[in-house]
Amino acid sequence: MTLLRILATAFALGVAALSVQAAPLRIVIDEGVIEPLPFAVPNFIAENGGAEQYARDIARVVAADLAGTGLFREIGSDAFISGVTSFDAPVAYNDWQAINAQALITGAVQASGDQIVVKFRLFDVFSGQQLGEGLQFAGTPSSWRRMAHKVADAAYSRITGEGGYFDSRVVYVAESGPKNQRLKRLAVMDYDGANIQYLTDSSSIVLAPRFSPTGDRILFTSYASGFPRIYVMDVGSLRTRGLDEQPGTMTFAPRFSPDGNTVVFSLEQGGNSDIYTLDIGSGGLRQLTNAPSIETGPSYSPDGSQIVFESDRSGTQQLYIMSAGGGEPRRISNGQGRYGTPVWSPRGDLIAFTKQNEGRFHIGVMRVQGDEERLLTSSFLDEGPTWAPNGRVIMFTRETAGASGQAGLYSVDISGRNLRQITTEGAASDPAWSPLLP
């Protein structure tokens, strides 16, 4: 009987061992770190003569783009243990892991005649894997910076999951002269301040330039006629024409609709300002608001169905949303102070604005319902936000106090981090960000 017990026990053990499936040890990780991701960009490989300078410069632009977001931290080349000698050489992951480079971008450039070809690969160093496929771009030598921006956009997008914004432009008002006699003209530059081109002279005051959805036209307000009037400029040819003028009126604060066929703006008549739309093709004019208050600063939602604008109908400047076809607006701003210059995010989830409260100016964002208001900046004078194409970064004007105060362009992440000044030639204001270039 004892032997039977032994056998039965052994059998039961065997059956139990065979039948029980091991459950993995389950652990929940609900906390991590938020810090710039270390990355390395060795100089790109020059695959033929004449490509050496491009290879170095493109790598530098890529690194600057990523580091400029505040989400990435470049590891300098002096820390590299090994370099990249060939575009197709296997990656010595151990060497990059040793310097804690979590992402690695390798690339190569070929330059021949009137064309250069840029190709790159992105690697997840600690996983020992390539992220996505390699890409290559071809273009004229003069567009080497754009290709560098496209490489950076691809790397940014693959790591963050968001669209990039580096291959884009910013139109702004370039200022010069003393504060009481400012000379202003329109200028366009790459988003990082490179390749500045002036679109107008400084013979008349210009304000509030805005890109079309395709980036080929610019709306702006000019005092060329002695009164503020809206003009549209073709960026390629610089041909400019004024929109239909209503006698006895002033028009300003124009913006394109998302489809580029309509312009929404403010029209002032008899001391009262309301929101209007103008069909560019037909010239048809339509009044959207009709109130004995000042309504201005309209901005379309990305789907074109709604318009946010500022109005003092409640006694102070506040933000309102109404249907794109007009109708009863609803107020969305509820905090202390005055709100103005609203701009709808390209993602459609947030509205950026300028807020003045207790002698300070702020750039802030809020949800379209008006809740979750967050102030991103605070200074003597911050105003006029514009969104990056991916809806993650805001550029605005900051002016310093005093007689020698000067306006400059700054950018900030929507988290409020990474406040940076954009380098321009002289003073600058009223930025407007283009969409991503094709």
Partner 1 sequence: MSTGTIISGAGHAGLILWVLLGDLLFSPQPAPEIQVASVSLVSASQFDAMVAAAPARPAPAPEPPVTPDAPAVVAPDPITPELPQPEANPEPVALPEPPPDLPPDVPTSPEPQPVPAPDPVAPLAAEEQPIPVPTTTQRPKPRPIDRVAPTPVDEIADAPEVAETPTPAVSDQPAPEAEVVPEDVPEAAPEEAATQIITEAVETEQDAPQLAMTSSRRPQARPEPVADAPIDDPAPAVAEPTDTQDVEADAIAAALAEAMSETPAEDNGVQDAPTGPPMTGGEIDGLRVAIKTCWNVGALSSSALRTVITVRVDLAESGVPDVGSIRLTGFEGGTDADATKVFQAARSAISRCGRNGFPLPPEKYDTWKDLELVFDPNGMRMR
Compare residues 94 and 225 and give the one whose CB is closer to partner 1.
Answer: 94
Query: Least distance to partner 1 from the beta carbon of 434, Å?
Result: 13
Kindly state the smallest distance separating residue 3's Cβ from partner 1, in Å. Answer: 7
Q: Which of residues 66 and 407 has its CB atom nearest to partner 1 in the complex? A: 66
Phi then psi dihedrals of residue 151, to 5 deg: -60, -45
Nearest residue (CB) to partner 1, 72 versus 265? 72
Give the nearer residue to partner 1 in terms of CB position, either 25 or 401. 25
- Of 328 and 372, which has the nearer Cβ to partner 1? 372
Residue among 416 and 426 whose Cβ is closer to partner 1: 416
Minimum separation from the CB atom of position 171 to partner 1 (A): 17
Can you read off the two tokens belonging to residue 75?
A: 């590891």
What's the min distance (Å) between Cβ of 204 and partner 1?
A: 30
Residue by residue, DSSP assigns 129-161 as EE-S--EEEEE-GGGHHHHHHHHHHHHHHHHHS
User: What six digits make up the tokens of 57?
Assistant: 């410069």
Rg of the chain over all Cα atoms, to the nearest angstrom: 28
Strand partners, 350: 367
User: What's the min distance (Å) between Cβ of 397 and partner 1?
Assistant: 24
DSSP one-letter string for 350-405: EEEEEEEETTEEEEEEEETTS-S-EE---BSEEEEEEE-TTSSEEEEEEE-SSTT-
CA distance 295 to 317: 9
- In order of 264, 270, 279, 384, the CA distances from 418 in angstroms are 32, 44, 39, 18
Give the SS3 label for residue 194. coil
- Tell the smallest beta-carbon distance from residue 293 to partner 1 (Å): 33
Of 13 and 238, the one with the shorter C-beta distance to partner 1 is 13
DSSP state of 317: -
Shortest spacing between CB 154 and partner 1, in angstroms: 9
